[in-house]
Structure 1
């Protein structure tokens, strides 16, 4: 490693593996260790010790520690959060049940609606009322609020969300209520909807506040233990947490707003894919991140991931919007399915092979781990097919037992369907690849994109094994497996800027535009956003991006339009209309001439300069040298085992080309090159697979 260079360490806690990346002046080391669900910080510390011992460094040598985790998401999905209460405006106790009054599947009379994080018995109301303009119509009844305290104590409430009607327009009542609750109940966490999500739409704002309150004790406790453990190891550097929007924030901000961490791990993967896309000049990319528990698909156009202001957690129906719990925060837009290496395979009631969303996680793990897992998983199928070297898995830290994979596959799938263990493994592999291909098709269609026109960038421990088959199914002709693909999200963390976005709702019509009031709101929002960034940015310059969420009067949803980074004047109105109509026409073919336009919300993103990768040089293709060995691979298309060459990635030089089928193994993952592709190594060390024949 380099002396005197900044030492940066990134950690991504997944459902199965915890990934660690150490970067010193561009010299990078990686490690994968099994996640410890009961105390996640234990795997982090163990992995850090391992990677530091690899380099002879110490905790005190680390300058920057960047951390992402799926702990908050998993806590909601598995309902392991705090005992949470909701205090709402009188008459609005059932906002979480009423939702948007829509059904995600209007023809299914037996749909399972998303189960609220707070049961009705733990929802309370108090008299108060603020109107949509922020005017106080009914003062907060403080006596009624204090009368709730004994009831909250009797219910052993750990965390409280306060969500009053129109609090985004005037947070005075919420702030006063929080002050009283904290005065009476010093040992509870309190979340204000006006602080977490100061936006219009009561259901989404209340749901977001409840989600923040639900995970706050868990995340605050975890981050507190982590900070204390790092201090005990003499760590003296800066700590940052990755947010769902693709930036990083301070540990103090993360402890206040843990809901912003819900998609932090997947966000790192999207950043990683965007960096790779920029380095190779691929402007249309589909990122494919498959780890041990889930798979994530994200569209990346012009090197930037698609973003959104709302996403859903714990969907009851995999691809149906409205079937999950809405969380209104800045987030990188992606589709996530329960299809990872640890996803459990089974035969359903209709005698079909089904995979996921249940996962074996790290405890007990897939059957081949030999840690008590009894049911076959995707990893077991890949082992039984011969795609994974059982001795070199995870750099040799976990020795796999193929006989346990075959036994589990035969018992749970083969015998019920009259198949051999190998054919059962092939069925599992095909089903999980089709699940991911379906997710990619849906994600692209929803955004008006043609999925086959994109390059697939595959990373995560399991994606390189399945990327070629997924590409065949969706018509993609080029696949890139970057260096350090097995720990791609953690590598992406290192490129994330320090950033924070704030959105505030204030209704304004363009034909009645108060430029001074709007500019004051934007300046106030910018000051708060910058304060959350500048505290951790050091000497780095902080930039702003201001946007407005606009629509035609009477429409139900808005589109985002960029604003100039200065105070607005009346002279800007014509430019605002033209910018909106241009963006509207890009989405819906044409604007509506002369229609009135309104703005519901205003946003300011404060961010440091993101890392811009340099473009890599082209390589001269040449035949690869002799393989390091071979693997017996069961080819389900011909129904028998065939010998295919095995290469070690670190022994391949830029330009070396391999015709499929073949396996390229490395410590973090393995890449399967199918018969339809040939692969070469580019100048950055990435494996590039290009289609050599018709789709299979």
Structure 2
């Protein structure tokens, strides 16, 4: 092998490893995540994979990584002790938040605790107006006094967010310089560097989150680098960003706000690559692992992105829905919907006597009861073992031995008994509840975005996605389900199809009917110069660089904006009309209506996607698919009261090369299991994907 690239994705239950050679050949490995130190699972898993396949660590050209370490720090409130320096009168902006509620009529809902306690939010008496004019100068002596108070409180990080610094950052730069002089080792984030855009709460929240997770991410990357050196792997480390692009580890350490949703993003990029190769114009990616399930859209070859999202609210949905439950991040991210439903999700009986699934998860430790590693609560994996969907002896090619009798016992005692049901019916009910939770995520990115899910194919992956996908698609009226090769480790495969990408922005407010073209051109040139400089610093040549311009607009008087691509070519007087038309189209597609012609449209900000193309093979090779020498086996599986227990063929992907099959069927692979319900047709497509016809054509 030569020019080896390695993708590693960490989940709450498993760590997935994918190794690709220069010809596109792929080796995969799945190991249990080490929650006490996620880096250890990576180094141990890589060392095992290299030994098993005779690979030298020195042959690796790039290590690509998706991680949940930043989001976990927020979810578990285990970030740094952080201080905030802000303009007088804005101390409580993190408490006031926005007038958005996740549940409008729930009087018991409470806002999550702020990431910076009030005693660590301090003010300075300065003022810059929206035009960037200094109204009240900053007193350096006051800044030093405020800094002394924070240092006395033992803060580990400081965030700085002063009013209207996006228009003029002179005061923030002064505060930054004072902190660097008086506390040179202090972790620091200033809003004019993190998010130079209008909207005070969003800018403050985003800057605070960057500071809050910065020490956590820094320690993790330091630990990971030490572990990689220990196994003699010295290749450049690139991290997946929430927006679907890669970034060097050094940049991620400084701007960790861009990798909060690093983990889920890679799978969507993999689905995008698959859709392009297989000729699908519209797909919904569905990723179900051990802890969560995620859904996202890919339309016309492009990933749907949100300009703002919340993390820590139970279901993570982009800005176009009424959210408000978590902590707001105003950075570009793949427009994901995420719910707490995975293989490790715990099944419980609520106060009303009804079964509920998640969001609590058994994770990898103690894990599902069937793992035999100390778990005592029934999980979705235990239910699927009882139903006959999962091999009752083993998972992951035999690396995880299962104890089916323990699953039966715990389901009988804690679910079936209280409900007064046979154990298989209780397990099937829990399976349906989990599916209903995940259908919420699919609807959140499709029908609640003005898209009909029946117009899309469903790309299912993750350790549990293919197990649920066909039945879910049938209930939604989705015709096609696609299960790619290496589906169980597909997020790590997606890393190998990603490029380095920077998303740059600046506030720029003008009415499109009165654009100052010379000023607009100059603003774009400044962003493009910045983007090219960053890519050049990463070693990309001009031929490898790809710049895409976007604009955020809204109708005058609206509080939120939509992003549309800027028209290609030179900026002229015709640009405004084309922008108005593109914005009207996007507004109608998103909200179902558009304003009458002549309604003023305002340009709010400029955004640049600066991408650097990595030397990636055109597409991963589909593994050789040859009908297995041994014939399919068979076991009993339960498909609800309508069908009951059925003798179900247990296949491998290779068996589909010979002929189509009609469900029921279970397709077992090293990294996942695919379940085909009764009556559905399953085949192998020319790209090696499992293709399930789950609904009749409309």
SS at match of 2:7: strand
Decide which of 623, 631, 634 is 1:630's aligned counterpart.
634
Q: CA deviation at 1:578?
A: 4.2
> Hey, what does 2:398 align to over in structure 1?
396
Q: Which residue of 1 aligns with 2:107?
A: 109
2:49 aligned partner: 51
2:376 aligned with 1:374: yes
Secondary structure of the 1:355 match is strand
Give the Å deviation of 1:514: 2.2
Select which of 488, 491, 501 maps to 2:490. 488
Whether 1:515 and 2:513 are equivalent positions in the alignment is no
Cα distance in 2 for partners of 1:692, 1:557 equals 38
Equivalent runs, 1:305-316 vs 2, <5 Å: 305-315=303-313
**Match of residue 324, structure 2, among 322, 325, 328:** 322
- Specify the SS of the correspondent of 1:424: helix
What's the CA shift string for 1:272-295, capped at 9, x where partnerless? 111121222121211110011100
SS of residue in 1 equivalent to 2:391 = coil
- 1:678 corresponds to which of 670, 681, 686: 681
For 2:645 and 2:565, the matched residues in 1 are separated by: 57
Equivalent in the alignment of 1:14: 11
Aligned to 1:344: 346
Q: What's 1:665 paired with? A: 668
How far apart, CA to CA, are the structure 2 residues paired with 1:457 and 1:612? 21
> Aligned partners of 1:60 and 1:616: how far apart in 2?
23
Provide the residue aligned with 1:122 in structure 2. Answer: 120
- What is the correspondence of 1:400-549 to structure 2 with a 5 Å cutoff? 400-539=402-541, 541-549=544-552
CA distance in 2, matches of 1:480, 1:694: 16
Aligned residue number for residue 333 of structure 2: 331
Matched, 1:552 2:550: no
Evaluate the alpha carbon distance shift between residue 625 and residue 471 of structure 1 in structure 2; reply closer, same or farther with a 3 A threshold: farther
Instruction: Work out whether residues 315 and 340 of structure 2, in 8 Å CA contact, stay in contact via their aligned partners in 1.
Output: no
Displacement after TM superposition at 1:79 (Å): 1.0
Aligned partners of 1:612 and 1:34: how far apart in 2?
29
419-428 vs 57-66, which moves further = 419-428
Total equivalences in the alignment:
689
Deviation per residue, 1:57-105 (Å, 9 max, x gap): 1211100110111111111111111111111111100101111234343
State the distance in 1 between where 2:45 and 2:679 align.
Answer: 38
The alpha-carbon deviation at position 370 of structure 1 amounts to 1.0
**Residue 599 of structure 2, aligned match among 595, 599, 610:** 595
Query: How far does the alpha carbon of each residue in 1:129-159 deviate from its partner, in whole angstroms, 9 at most, with x for none?
Result: 1111111111222212211233223322111
> Which deviations, in whole Å up to 9, do the C-alpha atoms of 1:354-398 show, x marking residues without a partner?
001111111111111111111011111111111111334011111
CA distance, structure 2, for counterparts of residue 574 and residue 349 of structure 1: 58
Indicate conservation of the 8 Å contact 1:199/1:504, yes or no: yes
Matched residue of 2:210: which SS?
Answer: helix
Are the counterparts in 2 of residues 655 and 682 from structure 1 also a CA contact under 8 Å? Answer: no
Asked whether the equivalents of residues 392 and 667 of structure 1 are also in contact (C-alpha less than 8 Å), the reply is no
- Determine the C-alpha separation between the residues in 2 that align with 1:155 and 1:133: 35
593-602 or 247-256, larger mean C-alpha shift: 593-602
SS of the residue corresponding to residue 495 of structure 1 reads coil
- 1:388-429 Cα shifts (integer Å, max 9, x gaps): 113340111110111221222122212211223322211111
Asked whether the 8 Å contact 2:411–2:426 carries over to 1, the reply is yes
- Shifted more, 132-141 versus 352-361: the winner is 132-141
Which residue of 2 is the match for residue 92 of structure 1? 90
Does structure 1 conserve the Cα–Cα contact (< 8 Å) formed by 2:138 and 2:171? yes
- Alpha-carbon separation, structure 2, partners of 1:370 and 1:513: 66
Q: Is the 8 A contact 1:542 1:609 kept in 2?
A: yes
2:239 maps to 241
Give the structure 2 partner of residue 32 of structure 1: 30
Query: Structure 1 residues 581 and 187 mapped into 2: Cα distance closer, same or farther (>3 Å)?
Result: same
Matched with 2:182 is 184
Question: Which residue of structure 2 aligns with residue 79 of structure 1?
Answer: 77
Change in Cα spacing, 1:166 to 1:637, as seen in structure 2 (3 Å) is same
Aligned to 1:162: 160
Judge which range, 246-255 or 551-560, deviates more. 551-560
Match of 1:207 in 2: 205
Counterpart contact for 2:667–2:673, Cα < 8 Å: yes
For residues 62 and 298 of structure 1, what CA distance do their matches in structure 2 show? 31
Q: 1:581 to 1:462 in 2, by over 3 A?
A: closer
Equivalent position SS for 1:19: strand
8 Å CA contact 2:307, 2:330 repeated in 1? yes
Q: 1:537 to 1:596 in 2, by over 3 A?
A: same
Cα distance, 1:574 vs structure 2: 4.0
| Aligned match for 2:608, one of 604, 610, 613 | 604
Looking at structure 2, the residues matched to 418 and 402 of structure 1 have their Cα atoms a distance apart, in angstroms, of 21
TM-score, normalising length from structure 1?
Answer: 0.94
2:513 and 2:663 map into 1 onto residues whose CA distance is 63
CA contact (8 A) 2:314 2:339 kept: no
Going from structure 1 to structure 2, the CA distance change for 1:351 and 1:93 (only over 3 Å counts) comes to same
> In the aligned structure 2, how far is the partner of 1:230 from the partner of 1:594?
59
Which residue does the alignment assign to 2:269? 271
Q: Do the aligned partners of 2:473 and 2:694 also contact (CA within 8 Å) in 1? A: no
C-alpha distance in 2, partners of 1:568/1:642? Answer: 65
Quote the offset at 1:484 in angstroms. 0.4
User: Quick one: distance in 2 between partners of 1:579 and 1:399?
Assistant: 55
Helix, strand or coil at the partner of 1:637: helix
| More displaced 10-residue stretch of structure 1: 29-38 or 383-392 | 383-392
Alignment CA distance shift 1:430-1:581 (3 Å): closer
**CA 1:395/1:534 → structure 2, altered by over 3 Å: closer, same or farther?**
farther
Task: State which drifts further: 320-329 or 580-589.
Answer: 580-589
**Secondary structure of the equivalent of 1:29?**
strand
SS at match of 2:123: strand
Residues 45-65 of structure 1, C-alpha deviations (whole Å, 9 max, x = no match): 011112111221121110011
Superimposed CA distance per residue, residues 457-487 of structure 1 (whole angstroms, 9 cap, x where no aligned partner): 1000011111112112211121111100001
TM-score with structure 2 setting the length:
0.94
Pair 1:647-2:644 in alignment: no
Deviation at 1:206, TM superposition (A): 0.7
Whole-angstrom distance in 2 between the partners of 1:45 and 1:496: 22
SS in 2 for 1:223: helix
The 2-side partners of 1:576 and 1:664 are apart by 49
Q: CA deviation at 1:517?
A: 2.4
Q: What's the RMSD between the two structures over aligned residues?
A: 2.5
